[in-house]
Chains A and B, each alone.
Chain A
């Protein structure tokens, strides 16, 4: 082998090095990529323990984490707790993730977990505290810095679901802070995939990637969450390229968005069910009349045949196709199929107006009667339109129905005072199982036990309550699922509520950005990826 002369070698080295240096910037860096996302409601506070409001928890998900989390199908997965076991019927032991660190570098310890479980009850001035989810825990025992035991008063299978709502904050960083302080960034030290940078109230939140995150690192180094409540403006921001993704595509623009080649459309069945509740208690109901408008002596809604007739007279498929643009899932359950406690034997009833008329005749109302259906008009997707469609369907079987809509603030105030006879409402099973809607919607009214929170017309079925009570203390998943399905079947067959459909949540992104849609309606910047 002949050696090269020094000058030739030097030239060769020089050429190779300069080529490498020139090419280096072209080689992809670990994405210094920015991502802008437009949401539809702004959070009211940066304190993750302040207020159990959907926009607040949606933002908290980016910066903070819980012991256990919900995946895209609302199943429970480990988060800051790597594993857990049941020591006995009342005690749960959690092993914490050793690799998890707070954004200020300090490690996550059981002290922080205990502090975070105590803090929600101490919050002042919140209209909806998180201590609903911590009050079942009567004792916490720190075994070692990475192990903690939680004890409940009675067997409490919902502990894991409750823990998905409690964010773990750093004790060091949040000691002595009030909820107001978080807005400037104090205390905003979490373990999540993003670090807090700036909060401009009702305008935007800026985040940057946590490069020491224990889990899957997000694709974006910098994220801006913008809040654009006006539907048209939010979509315009996506079309103009001001943001790369939006949540809640406005219904009138769905067809346009799906047809647009520059956009990608994502949807998923949500845990929110839209249903009707009826007055089964009162002999004389305020908005039930005969065809001439005179009040009736006996309330037809008390007859289960009438309620069944009302249910099968609703053409849920037509509502899905015509009113919801294909974006709803007709149902006879209180939770979607993926959620715990869904009863696969309860299928949406077939649309059968003839059978409905027969049932009405059997019950003694061959000519029908008059009804007023109340509904909110600014709360659920197409709420008033759905009510108007249902009213027309009922008119076809002889029930002259009027619709009265009102903003949610007015509607819920009057509804809670049992002023209505039949109304439309929605419920999102945030805990990922059907025990939540059963307790709130149809359990006999019992404030001391927390039953019947939205059971405005006080439906009560002791048989269902007995099954539900057993389910709520059954720690065995299979047994609990069976009992919950049984409870759902009892209440649906009795017409305690009439489910219509599960809502579908929608997202739209610029082509080239992928999103993994979620059942719990949440929109996370770390759920978006460049293709």
Chain B
């Protein structure tokens, strides 16, 4: 187990290094952030001064080595546009994104699993077919369009929910969260649902196919013969056995949702990391782009690690036997 984790950590470091190199080269290739950021009234002398102040006059490989040196000490640079440390900016916005993503994942599970089971148990009934049809919509409709439609219907026409933004926040262990208040929940509902839509559809389909397959297994026939309640058969035996692919997908999607909540955050003016990254890309704020992508890669790596360990917990047949080759 220990060897497994150590190997994982080493692999992760290599991935992080390659990622930072790619971002540096990529941003450099697009253009000079100074041209976008600099004040319109500034003349060429000011421009030259700013370029030196940001270290952009040095050759690219030197800038990269300076970055590595600072990163080893935990400093991922200062944002060009905000002048605050990049990590501070990201951590300031992370609670909002994590809150939104967690709510979205929760909705996916809470809505996806039961609906998927229902569709799996009655695949040929009206209910089952209806659920499958709706799940196709969940896959295919673009997120920004669904978001705008939700706002139009529920906020503008019906007036039930607020159009955008985050509600009132309270501090929970020093982290601002908004789900503890009714106002916060009202603001959270639409963006979380918008973000979760794709995943709800995914979970529905996975659960349905898993349930259909599991119901044909011998152990289900045996459990029925034994006289177990239907709810126990499905809720305990079937569910546990179909959970592995669902857990994998949900876990991977969690990372993906955190990283790419950009569209939902932009449409709903949710002050999260996604909006930060898209704004930073637009003005070529390289320190923030690099810091953000490194953070996302780290999150993905951690999630993968947790998933692998969950496997061995869920399925006794799986051993973390990679070290044996």
Write the residues of chain A forming the contact surface with B, with a CB cutoff of 8 angstroms. 44-45, 50-53, 124-133, 179-180, 183, 200-204, 226-230, 232-233, 236-237, 239-242, 378, 407-410, 412-414, 416, 427-428, 430-431, 436, 440, 447-454
**B304 CB within 8 Å of chain A:** no
Contact B30 A409 (CB under 8 A): yes
Which of B38, B44, B82, B165 meets A128, CB within 8 Å? B38
Q: Which residue, A50, A129, A378, A428, has most C-beta atoms of chain B within 10 A?
A: A129
**Given A201-B92, A242-B162, do A132 and B42 touch, yes or no (CB 8 Å)?**
yes
Please give 9 more A-B residue pairs, beta carbons under 8 A apart, in addition to A228-B164, A413-B36: A127-B37, A201-B92, A202-B279, A203-B269, A232-B267, A236-B155, A237-B164, A413-B35, A448-B44
Q: How far is the CB of B121 from chain A (nearest CB, A)?
A: 40
Contact A236 B156 (CB under 8 A): yes
Assembled-state Cα–Cα distance A5/B267 (Å): 73
Assembled-state Cα–Cα distance A179/B81 (Å): 12
Closest residue on chain B to residue A242 by CB atoms: B163
Contact A233 B39 (CB under 8 A): no
Assembled-state Cα–Cα distance A299/B47 (Å): 31
Assembled-state Cα–Cα distance A448/B43 (Å): 8
Contacting residues, chain B, for A427 (C-beta < 8 A): 40
Closest residue on chain A to residue B276 by CB atoms: A202
Assembled-state Cα–Cα distance A429/B124 (Å): 68
Q: How far is the CB of A244 from chain B (nearest CB, A)?
A: 13
Contact B30 A233 (CB under 8 A): no
Q: How far is the CB of A420 from chain B (nearest CB, A)?
A: 14
Contact B152 A412 (CB under 8 A): no
**B215 CB within 8 Å of chain A:** no
**Given A240-B159, A242-B162, do A430 and B276 touch, yes or no (CB 8 Å)?**
no
Write the residues of chain B forming the contact surface with A, with a CB cutoff of 8 angstroms. 30-48, 50, 53-54, 78, 80-84, 89, 92-93, 148, 151-152, 155-156, 159, 162-166, 266-269, 271, 275-276, 279, 282-284
Q: How far is the CB of A482 from chain B (nearest CB, A)?
A: 24
Contact B33 A236 (CB under 8 A): no
Contacting residues, chain B, for A52 (C-beta < 8 A): 39-42
Q: How far is the CB of B148 from chain A (nearest CB, A)?
A: 5
Contact B83 A45 (CB under 8 A): yes
Assembled-state Cα–Cα distance A148/B137 (Å): 69
Q: Which residue, A124, A201, A414, has most C-beta atoms of chain B within 10 A?
A: A201
**Given A45-B83, A124-B83, A409-B33, do A129 and B162 touch, yes or no (CB 8 Å)?**
no
Contact A428 B40 (CB under 8 A): yes
Contact A416 B271 (CB under 8 A): no
Assembled-state Cα–Cα distance A512/B76 (Å): 49
Assembled-state Cα–Cα distance A228/B84 (Å): 22
9 pairs of residues in contact across A and B, judged by CB atoms under 8 Å: A44-B82, A50-B83, A51-B81, A129-B42, A132-B41, A230-B164, A413-B30, A447-B43, A452-B44
**Given A203-B165, A448-B45, do A410 and B151 touch, yes or no (CB 8 Å)?**
no
Contacting residues, chain B, for A412 (C-beta < 8 A): 31, 35-36
Which of A127, A131, A414, A430 meets B38, CB within 8 Å? A127
Contacting residues, chain B, for A180 (C-beta < 8 A): 83-84
Assembled-state Cα–Cα distance A414/B32 (Å): 9
Contact A129 B156 (CB under 8 A): no
Q: How far is the CB of A432 from chain B (nearest CB, A)?
A: 12
**Given A126-B83, A228-B269, do A242 and B164 touch, yes or no (CB 8 Å)?**
yes
Contacting residues, chain B, for A130 (C-beta < 8 A): 39
Contact A431 B41 (CB under 8 A): yes
Closest residue on chain B to residue A452 by CB atoms: B44
Contacting residues, chain B, for A237 (C-beta < 8 A): 163-164
Contact A440 B40 (CB under 8 A): yes
Which of A230, A410, A447, A453 meets B31, CB within 8 Å? A410
Q: How far is the CB of B302 from chain A (nearest CB, A)?
A: 26
**Given A409-B33, A447-B45, do A226 and B40 touch, yes or no (CB 8 Å)?**
no
Contact B36 A408 (CB under 8 A): yes
Closest residue on chain A to residue B38 by CB atoms: A128
Contact B43 A451 (CB under 8 A): yes
Q: Which residue, B34, B36, B165, has most C-beta atoms of chain A within 10 A?
A: B165
Q: How far is the CB of A269 from chain B (nearest CB, A)?
A: 19
**Given A127-B37, A409-B30, A410-B31, do A233 and B163 touch, yes or no (CB 8 Å)?**
yes
Assembled-state Cα–Cα distance A481/B250 (Å): 68
Closest residue on chain B to residue A50 by CB atoms: B83
Which of B37, B39, B54, B163 meets A236, CB within 8 Å? B163
Contact A410 B38 (CB under 8 A): no
Contact A45 B82 (CB under 8 A): yes
Q: How far is the CB of A206 from chain B (nearest CB, A)?
A: 12
Contacting residues, chain A, for B34 (C-beta < 8 A): 127
Contact A436 B30 (CB under 8 A): no
Assembled-state Cα–Cα distance A127/B283 (Å): 11
**Given A45-B83, A409-B30, do A132 and B78 touch, yes or no (CB 8 Å)?**
no
Assembled-state Cα–Cα distance A430/B276 (Å): 28
Q: Which residue, A132, A133, A183, A430, has most C-beta atoms of chain B within 10 A?
A: A132
Assembled-state Cα–Cα distance A102/B7 (Å): 61
Contact B44 A450 (CB under 8 A): yes
Assembled-state Cα–Cα distance A379/B8 (Å): 45
Assembled-state Cα–Cα distance A127/B36 (Å): 9
Q: How far is the CB of A128 from chain B (nearest CB, A)?
A: 3
Shortest beta-carbon contacts, A-B, top 9: A413-B31, A128-B39, A450-B43, A447-B44, A127-B37, A125-B83, A52-B39, A203-B271, A412-B35
Closest residue on chain A to residue B270 by CB atoms: A203
Assembled-state Cα–Cα distance A124/B83 (Å): 8
Q: How far is the CB of A213 from chain B (nearest CB, A)?
A: 28
**Given A45-B82, A200-B271, A228-B269, do A127 and B50 touch, yes or no (CB 8 Å)?**
yes
Contacting residues, chain A, for B31 (C-beta < 8 A): 409-410, 412-414
Which of B35, B36, B159, B268 meets A233, CB within 8 Å? B268
Closest residue on chain B to residue A202 by CB atoms: B271
Contact B166 A203 (CB under 8 A): yes
Which of A183, A226, A229, A450 meets B165, CB within 8 Å? A226
